[in-house]
Structure 1
Amino acid sequence: MVFIMAVLAIFPLVPKSLSNRAYRLSFMGTACSSVYYLYALYGRPKAWTLQAVQVYFQSVITTKDFNYFIYCLTFVTSHLCLKFTLIPILCRSLERIAKFLRHNFSRSTLYSDSLDGNGMIDIYRCQTVCHPLWKG
């Protein structure tokens, strides 16, 4: 979703009001997903003492998702609308999409329906699964 919003914000033929909304939404979406990922990965500090919170933040601050969160927060709160700042967001979205497909593509029914008995992709079966009206 963030990828689509970022593309909408950069594409030059989109109306300016829609482009500005997409610009803000793509940064907000990336900021929210970065915070959620940090919470899912690291949880909360073990204790709410100053030393425990300091150790927790030292481990969180070094991550890539925290850097993206700060980056997005900077541009969401500014009144500038710089389109080229969305390029890292597009790259991060493509990276997450590729990681998701790498882990989950082998379990998809489209992929498993196109395999032959030896685990190799059967081109004819793949074409008929992808395009049922195609006749070889």
Structure 2
Amino acid sequence: MLVEVLEEPQRYAAMRQARLALTLPGTNTLELALAGLPSVVLLPLHKPEMLPLEGFLHWLLLLPGARPLKQALVRRVAARIPFLALPNQWLGEEVFPELRGIFSPAEVARKGLALLERGPQVQARLARLGAEAGADNLVAHVLSL
């Protein structure tokens, strides 16, 4: 499998040519949504202790013996977040399917294929994202994260 890292202008051109994206949570989900590219958002928790944290918790959980505590904390927090993708958060619905926890490549493929089948409906919903009243608030929301 070939993986390429693209510069900004190439990345957006690639988004316009793609039919589906697999992505991690973050502001990239908003970029994908505004590009109209249906995406599956993945938060693998196979090794939750590897996820980076910020601030005091980052340093506290680096102490010897803190690994099980970090695993439990990350899993608990991830389970409490209703939507991972910014478009899903903004719209209050799962436009981009999300997988979190421990999942297999087959599960990712099933989600992706199901999303491809309803691609036009998803693209129509995403097109309304930027057109809805308060789209400027969406940008403010993203900047405040």
Same fold (TM over 0.5): no
Q: Which has the higher contact order (CA 8 A, sep 6+)?
A: 2
TM-score (normalizing by structure 2):
0.27
The structure number with the bigger radius of gyration is 1
| Greater strand share, structure number | 2
TM-score (normalizing by structure 1):
0.29
| Greater helix share, structure number | 1
